Amino acid sequence: MVNKWLSRCYLAIMFLFLYAPIAVLIVFSFNESKSSGKWTGFSLHWYEELLQDSQMQTALFYTIIVATLATAISTVVGTFTSIGIFKLTKKTKAFVLNVNYLPVISPDIVLAVALMMLFKTLKMKFGFTTMLLAHIMFCIPYVVLSVLPRLYAMNPNLAEAAMDLGATPMQAIRKVVIPEILPGIMAGALMAFTMSIDDFVISYFTAGNGVTNLSIEVYSMAKRGIRPTVNALATIMVSFILVSVLISNNLSIKKKREV
Amino acid sequence: MHESTKRLSYPYIVWISIIIIIPMLLIFLYSLIDPSDGNPMAFRLTIDNYVKFFSPIYISTLARSLWIAVWSTLACLLLGYPLAWVIAQCHPKKQSSLLLLFIMPMWINMLLRTYAWISILGKNGILNNILEFFHLAPVDIMYTDFAIILGMVYNFLPFMVLPIHTAIAKVDKNLIDAARDLGANNRQVFSKVVFPLTLPGIITGVIMVFLPAVSTFVIPQLLGGGQFMMIGNLIEKQFLLTGNWYFGSALSMILMIFILLSIWLMKRFDSDGQAGGALPW
């Protein structure tokens, strides 16, 4: 009994630790004054200000558009690449997989400076394109890593059977292989989106002037003094995440019931 | 599948050659170029950039990064193992919602969450306001090592809990019962049965926390106020402030070597080679 009570307490304390900063962001988005340490009264002032804050809106726009494009591109490329890697000879496969791991294990800062040097050497103009290329670079490995195990777990005779029945290799991939590995593809896409939307270091080094994302905006704000509009934005993001988690949870429960 | 499907991977091989291999080679090349020449095309090879690192300031920066990363990893392990254990004891349905609750904060911008700690820990922050309310002496945590470690634990704890939870969930309950039947007490059950079985999860967790902890430059910048430099900050400064790519590249190479070395070292603890499905060696 004591044990159970103790473990409940521990769980509660750890969740308090994880959610305290988020609660602070939410509570102080409704604060009247600029202070983020002392409560002075309720107001929606910072939400109004957010509607007029074009800098913040641009940052949000770039964050979402880069994450969406990077996720879409790396999911498609990563999936087809994995199907290809699966059939490579042992040596080439080992080589591709090892290089594929490099972005996963390398520190962000090393990847960031490496890409910056590459883009500078190629004399590319720093901006949206360089940032997107960088995001695709670190997103594809996660897709490959979650799709490949699914391919290994798949019955290899399935695709053969499809082709025996007259499907072209492309049809076999589209109609048999992809539905079979779909959970891995989805997991990879979610991973890629999470990595992209949360990235700071690599974007910071590859975006150049003019293009920002949310992380870069917060970082530069931290130096000049933060504006509480960012709290308002965080609150909106938290509600958005909460709603989508609830919806997807409900959908999966419904699906289970139907089965 | 048909043999020809392997062609699907060829574009990616070209892509990784350009965007992963060449940049890594660039770092290696620049780390060996004499910075005094100014023109990288007429370069002269030298090991001066590495020699420069072996001066007390830079060595102590690396030592400091390792020290903070080790403490953060240890704190994550000591807090995370019991947490993973408690979650694994819950009803399976409850477990998945608890894990989801655990991952959710990670979808909110990491800088925002870290920044929120400043308003909690700051001089006129929430923590001190609460202490004042109870007539207690205020604390000055901001811009200390403790603040940096706290920020790291906050950000990286899920990386520790998730693999350990997976490992604990896989432990066969019959083994624990068998150990008890054979007369083992709680401590023995843990040290002889549970701990060895969950070691692969621990190793994966330690690697996944240690890697970002040793190289981050954002957390020390925000919570350490930039006055305590870690190796990540040093690299950032070489590229964005002083523009010394050559020394910055040498520092990056040294950091990479340290990381590969520590992964290799950790993997040696894992005799079965089960840890980190995410790691190639």
Low-confidence winner among A22-36, A54-68, A77-91 (lowest mean pLDDT): A22-36
Residue B238: closest C-alpha in chain A? A113
Give residue B21's pLDDT band: very low, low, confident or very high (50, 70, 90). Answer: very high
Average pLDDT of B102-129?
87
How far the first Cα of chain A sits from its last, in Å, is 38
Instruction: Determine the pLDDT at residue B280.
Output: 38
The ipTM estimated for the assembled molecules is 0.88
Which residues on neighbouring strands pair with residue A84, listed in sequence order? Answer: none
Number of neighbours of residue A143 by Cβ within 10 angstroms = 27
pLDDT of A119 strictly over 50: yes
Q: Which pLDDT tens digit goes with each residue over B93-102?
A: 888 888 888 8
- Distance (Å, rounded) from C-alpha B262 to C-alpha B210? 9
Q: In angstroms, what separates the C-alpha of B96 from chain A's closest C-alpha?
A: 11
pLDDT of A35 strictly over 80: no
Mean pLDDT of all residues belonging to chain B: 88
* Residues near B260 by beta carbon (within 8 Å), at least 6 away in sequence: A105
Which residues between 183 and 242 in chain A have a beta carbon less than 8 angstroms from any beta carbon of chain B?
Answer: 194, 197-198, 200-201, 205, 214-215, 218-219, 222, 226, 230, 234, 237-238, 241-242
Cβ separation B9–A25 shorter than 8 A: no
Torsions phi, psi for B45 (to 5 deg): -80, 145
Low-confidence winner among A51-60, B31-40, B75-84, B145-154 (lowest mean pLDDT): B31-40
Question: Max Cα separation, chain A?
Answer: 74
DSSP letter for each residue of chain B: --GGGGGGGHHHHHHHIIIIIHHHHHHHHHHTB-GGG--GGG--B-SHHHHHHTSHHHHHHHHHHHHHHHHHHHHHHHHHHHHHHHHHTS-HHHHHHHHHHHHGGGGS-HHHHHHHHHHHHSTTSHHHHHHHHTT------TTSHHHHHHHHHHHHHHHHHHHHHHHHHHS-HHHHHHHHHTT--HHHIIIIIIHHHHHHHHHHHHHHHHHHHHH-SHHHHHHSTTTS--HHHHHHHHHHTS--HHHHHHHHHHHHHHHHHHHHHHHHH-TT--S-TT---
Cβ separation B1–A86 shorter than 8 A: yes
How much of chain B exceeds pLDDT 90, in percent? 53
- Distance (Å, rounded) from C-alpha B1 to C-alpha A177? 9
Query: How many pairs of residues across A and B have Cβ atoms under 8 Å apart?
Result: 225
Average pLDDT of B131-150?
89
Nearest to B160 by CA among B129, B124, B195, B202: B202
Instruction: Determine the pLDDT at residue B228.
Output: 65
Nearest to B151 by CA among B237, B58, B217, B107: B217
Instruction: Determine the pLDDT at residue B271.
Output: 57
Q: In angstroms, what separates the C-alpha of A35 from chain B's closest C-alpha?
A: 9
On whether any CB of chain A is under 8 Å from the CB of B108, the answer is yes
Instruction: List the structure tokens of A211.
Output: 């293009």
A163 CB-contact burial (10 Å; exposed 0-12 / middle 13-18 / buried 19+): middle
pLDDT of B64 strictly over 80: yes
On whether any CB of chain B is under 8 Å from the CB of A162, the answer is no
B55 CB-contact burial (10 Å; exposed 0-12 / middle 13-18 / buried 19+): exposed
A116 CB-contact burial (10 Å; exposed 0-12 / middle 13-18 / buried 19+): buried
Question: Which domains are present in chain B?
Answer: 59-169+197-269 (1.10.3720.10)
B213 CB-contact burial (10 Å; exposed 0-12 / middle 13-18 / buried 19+): buried
Instruction: Determine the pLDDT at residue B278.
Output: 42
Which residues between 3 and 42 in chain A have a beta carbon less than 8 angstroms from any beta carbon of chain B?
Answer: 7, 10-11, 14-15, 17-22, 24-25, 28, 35-38
Spell out which residues of chain A touch residue B1, defining contact as CB-CB under 8 Å: 83, 86-87, 156, 159-160, 169, 172-173, 177
Low-confidence winner among A80-94, B29-43, B122-136 (lowest mean pLDDT): B29-43
Instruction: Determine the pLDDT at residue B268.
Output: 83
Instruction: List the structure tokens of A174.
Output: 């589209």
Q: Which pLDDT tens digit goes with each residue over A138-176?
A: 999 999 999 999 999 998 888 889 989 988 888 988 999
H or E stretch at A155? none
Spell out which residues of chain B touch residue A191, defining contact as CB-CB under 8 Å: none
Q: Which pLDDT tens digit goes with each residue over B179-191?
A: 999 999 889 999 9
Give residue B227's pLDDT band: very low, low, confident or very high (50, 70, 90). Answer: low
How much of chain A exceeds pLDDT 90, in percent? 63
pLDDT of B124 strictly over 90: no
Indicate the SS3 state at residue A228. coil
CB B125 within 8 A of CB B140: no
Indicate the SS3 state at residue A209. coil
Cβ separation A200–B218 shorter than 8 A: yes
The DSSP call for residue A176 is I
pLDDT of B118 strictly over 80: yes
Q: In angstroms, what separates the C-alpha of A109 from chain B's closest C-alpha?
A: 7
- Distance (Å, rounded) from C-alpha B146 to C-alpha B149? 5
Instruction: Determine the pLDDT at residue A253.
Output: 74
Average pLDDT of B13-38?
90
Spell out which residues of chain B touch residue A106, defining contact as CB-CB under 8 Å: 256, 259
Please give the C-alpha separations between residue A8 and each of A11, A92, B231, in angstroms, as whole numbers.
5, 51, 39
Cβ separation A109–B232 shorter than 8 A: yes
* Residues near A46 by beta carbon (within 8 Å), at least 6 away in sequence: A29, A30, A31, A228, A229, A231, A232
Average pLDDT of A69-86?
95
Cβ separation B111–A140 shorter than 8 A: no
H or E stretch at A89? none
How much of chain B exceeds pLDDT 70, in percent? 91
Cβ separation A18–B2 shorter than 8 A: no
Q: Which pLDDT tens digit goes with each residue over A182-196?
A: 999 999 999 999 999
On whether any CB of chain B is under 8 Å from the CB of A61, the answer is no
Q: In angstroms, what separates the C-alpha of A125 from chain B's closest C-alpha?
A: 16
Which candidate from A99, A159, A215 shows the least CB-CB separation from B16? Answer: A99
Asked whether the CA dihedral B252, B255, B261, B266 is positive or negative, the reply is negative
CB B214 within 8 A of CB B45: no
Specify the higher pLDDT residue, A102 or A226: A102
Give residue A91's pLDDT band: very low, low, confident or very high (50, 70, 90). Answer: very high
- Distance (Å, rounded) from C-alpha A189 to C-alpha A18? 25
Low-confidence winner among A247-256, B86-95, B114-123 (lowest mean pLDDT): A247-256
B90 CB-contact burial (10 Å; exposed 0-12 / middle 13-18 / buried 19+): middle
The DSSP call for residue A123 is T
Spell out which residues of chain A touch residue B114, defining contact as CB-CB under 8 Å: 21
Instruction: List the structure tokens of B38.
Output: 């100014």
Q: In angstroms, what separates the C-alpha of B184 from chain A's closest C-alpha?
A: 19
Nearest to A47 by CA among A218, A227, A237, A229: A229
Instruction: Determine the pLDDT at residue A134.
Output: 97
Instruction: Determine the pLDDT at residue B38.
Output: 59
Instruction: List the structure tokens of A256.
Output: 């289970």
- Distance (Å, rounded) from C-alpha B72 to C-alpha B166? 21
CB A173 within 8 A of CB A229: no
Low-confidence winner among B59-63, B129-133, B165-169, B251-255 (lowest mean pLDDT): B129-133
Please give the C-alpha separations between residue B54 and each of A46, B62, B255, in angstroms, as whole numbers.
50, 10, 14
